[in-house]
Amino acid sequence: MSYLLLTGVTGLLGSYLLGAALRAGRRVAVVSRASRTESIGQRIEALVVRWERESGRVLPRPVVLEGDLHQPDLGLDARRLRWVARHCHAVLHCAASLTFESGNRDEEPWRSNLDGTRHVLELCRRTGIREYHHVSTAYVCGLREGRVLESELDEGQSFANDYERSKAEAEKIVRSAEFLDPPTIYRPAIIVGDSRTGHTTTFHGFYTPLKIMHAMVHQFDTAEASSASYLEALGLSGREKKNFVPVDWVAQVISHIVDRPEHHGRTYHLAPDQRVDTSLVGEVVETSLRQDVVEKGRRDVPSGGDVPLEFLFRSQMDVYRSYWRSDPEFDRTNTMAAAPTLPCPTVDRAMLMRMARFALRTNFGWPRPRLPELGPGACADLRPWLEAADKEPVNGRVRTSVGLQVNGPGGGQWELLLADQSVAGAEHGLPAHPTATLYMNAKTFERLATRVCSGREAVEEGSVLVEGNGVPPEMVQNALKALGELRRSQ
């Protein structure tokens, strides 16, 4: 089994795609980078821990490749490029910028949406990856009206903003990449939070008027927060139709199609059965804000004075005005054929209230929760073997390899390279055709590394699962014994 290479994993949709892949037992490698305050290990670990809590299961950790979408080859060095070429069969490119306007093409959204896509495509060309899945947007249709077909892209349309324009150009270069098999393209409509919990980490689209009005009602007179007046300020009648889709459904459908090669090579509109009126959005925003003010208590703040709140709201929302136009109807023929048992949940008042309440309860994601500090984990113990394989390739004298998967905090996936009945080195990622694979959780790994128990005892008590047909017992024991010698040799 080879790996799916996933970009954009720290974004909302990307995090849901990662969770779906890990829960399904799919092997995943992610390309991501550290933030100014958090290591890449912390960011990925926090995502996996969240999915462990939701599913009630201990999950495997993905292979993490620290890289940068804005750099050629995604910033991966020659060794990591070789790893991708050996282990990854497909790319699911989800990373994107949601910036609407830019001063020039050296800025967002062009850097991520167009140049970043070019870098991912070049990575595929260099590493021989032919299976490509691309997350676009339904709004590559631009300012079209009526019914938009999944088969359509360049119809001479104009665009409302640079986000739509950059995504349309990115989709064109994907389609023109002759070194790929026919790409699979996913065009979500407006992604909102989780249909069940309201969870989100991105507060654009539906959340923008809520966020702006939330700031205003806590600075000025709450009584003026009328949905009718703000719809009028945006020039809306309330009858405009919006295509909202929950993030959990979008991830579910994409994951479903990724796993089924017979559905690859097509374009899919991930759009709802029923569109939402802007009048309902206004009502949800107004109601949730009033509830929030009552629950948190009115602060003593100055009123708006002579400045109409509609004017302030309109000026804040100006860049998003085109966003609130009435949406076209998106053809879903391919989507319904590929995933007939996965209908889009109806985005109704109750669901939108869950999403609005989540945003207000979490103060629109600010301040960001502090991520837990990570211990050294299994990778620290395996570092001597990893460094040995880096400095001097051992493949020439390796007789066989054993896979090692450690689930839980600090875990990961590795290939243990065996020569002369001992471990000669290690590489990240499970081998495609191992003689055997050892599965254990982080606690069992710690017990082995500290010699609390022997490998034989761990196997007999069921703490270590050995997968493989006709595996020589001595090979497994040699690998487990080597784990017990790691800390003694450091």
| CA 318 to chain CA mean position, Å | 29
Helix, strand, coil % over all residues of the chain, rounded to 5:
45, 15, 40
CB atoms within 10 A of CB 79: 12
Going from the C-alpha of 290 to that of each of 92, 131, 215, 253, 284, the distances in angstroms are 41, 49, 13, 35, 10
Cβ 316 vs Cβ 219: under 8 Å: no
CATH annotation of 377-489 = 3.30.1050.10
Sketch the domain layout of the chain as residue ranges. 3-204+237-277+327-351, 377-489
The tokens for 133 are 């899945």
Per-residue pLDDT of the chain (490 residues; tens, 9 = 90+): 799 999 999 999 999 999 999 999 999 999 999 888 888 888 999 999 999 999 999 899 999 999 999 999 999 999 999 999 999 999 999 999 999 888 789 999 999 999 999 999 999 999 999 999 999 999 999 999 999 999 999 999 999 999 999 999 999 999 999 999 999 999 999 999 999 999 999 998 899 888 888 887 766 654 455 666 667 767 788 999 999 999 999 999 999 999 999 999 999 999 999 999 999 998 998 899 888 888 877 544 334 344 455 666 666 677 667 678 899 999 999 999 999 999 999 999 999 999 999 999 999 999 887 776 777 789 889 999 998 877 665 555 566 789 999 999 889 999 998 887 788 889 999 998 878 899 999 999 999 999 999 999 999 999 999 998 777 788 888 899 999 888 776 5
Ramachandran class of 323: left when φ > 0, alpha when ψ lies in -120 to 50, beta otherwise: alpha
The Cα 399–Cα 350 span in angstroms is: 60
Radius of gyration (Cα) for the chain, nearest Å?
25
Q: Measured on CA atoms in the order 96, 98, 101, 102, is the torsion positive or negative?
A: negative
Three-state SS at 293 = helix
DSSP string, 209-267: HHHHHHHHHTTS-GGG--HHHHHHHTT--S--EE-EEEHHHHHHHHHHHHT-GGGTT-E
Query: Could you tell me where the beta strands, DSSP code E, fall in 75-182?
Result: 88-93, 131-135, 147-148
The closest alpha carbon to 224, from 299, 307, 155, 284, belongs to 307
Query: In terms of Cα–Cα distance, which of 114, 92, 240, 108 is closest to 169?
Result: 114
State how far the Cα of 330 lies from the Cα of 246, in Å rounded to an integer.
16
* pLDDT recorded at residue 300: 41
DSSP label of 344: P
Residue at token pair 């910028």: 97
Q: Which CATH superfamily is domain 3-204+237-277+327-351 in?
A: NAD(P)-binding Rossmann-like Domain (3.40.50.720)
How far is residue 226 CA from its own chain's centroid?
36
Q: Give the three-state DSSP class for 163.
A: helix
Element (H, E) at 417: strand 412-419
Length of the chain: 490
Instruction: Give the long-range contacts of residues 366-374, CB within 8 A, separation 24 or more.
Output: 371/38, 371/42, 371/43, 371/45, 371/46, 372/42, 372/45, 372/46, 373/42, 374/39, 374/41, 374/42, 374/45, 374/409, 374/410
Residue at token pair 């670990």: 45
Rounded-to-integer distance, Cα 480 and Cα 455, Å: 5
Query: Do residues 439 and 419 lie in contact, with contact meaning Cβ atoms separated by under 8 Å?
Result: no
Query: What is the pLDDT, as a whole number, of residue 307?
Result: 45
Please, where are the H alpha helices in 269-409?
Answer: 278-296, 309-317, 333-338, 349-361, 377-391
Upper half-sphere CA count for residue 39 (Cβ side, 13 Å): 9
